């Protein structure tokens, strides 16, 4: 059994939720938003947004900084870069497997004719 790092597991666990993905997408388009600005378009209450931000922060995907009474959220790209690198490594394995399957199926279809 392959043992994945806890960081990678936390990243993928954080990305499971569509609200968290929406928050990350928003921060990618509009860096450095306040929590209230992030929460404004979401169909959930502020305490729920805060819980989502905690998950994203625990996964290392965002950083929070405070200026006066305003908390600003910023995207941290490294965990996503690590996740993409893992996906790229595993995609080459699966692409090779699917290519082999395709060849087997084509050969089988050729014998039926």
> Considering its fold, how many domains does the chain have in total?
1
Q: Write down the pTM of the prediction.
A: 0.78
State the pLDDT at residue 101: 85
Nearest to 74 by CA among 18, 8, 11, 29: 29
Q: Which residue has tokens 């990618």?
A: 28
pLDDT per residue rounded down to tens, the chain (113 residues): 344 469 999 999 999 999 999 999 999 999 999 999 999 999 999 999 999 999 999 999 999 999 999 999 999 999 999 999 999 988 888 877 788 888 888 888 776 65
- C-alpha–C-alpha distance, residues 27 and 78, integer Å: 14
Q: Are 19 and 52 in contact (CB under 8 A)?
A: yes
CA 84 to chain centre: 9
Which residue range is the domain that position 18 belongs to?
Answer: 6-112
Question: Looking at residue 28, which CATH number applies to its domain?
Answer: 1.10.10.10
């Amino acid at each position: 059994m392959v043992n994945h790092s806890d960081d990678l597991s936390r990243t993928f666990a954080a990305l499971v939720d569509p609200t968290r993905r929406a928050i990350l997408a928003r921060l990618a388009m509009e860096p450095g938003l306040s929590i209230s600005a992030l929460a404004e378009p979401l169909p959930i209450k502020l305490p729920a947004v805060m819980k989502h931000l905690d998950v994203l922060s625990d996964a290392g995907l965002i950083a929070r900084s405070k200026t006066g009474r305003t908390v600003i959220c910023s995207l941290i790209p490294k965990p996503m870069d690590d996740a993409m690198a893992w996906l790229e490594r595993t995609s080459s394995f699966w692409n090779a497997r699917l290519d082999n399957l395709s060849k087997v199926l084509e050969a089988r279809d050729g014998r039926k004719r």
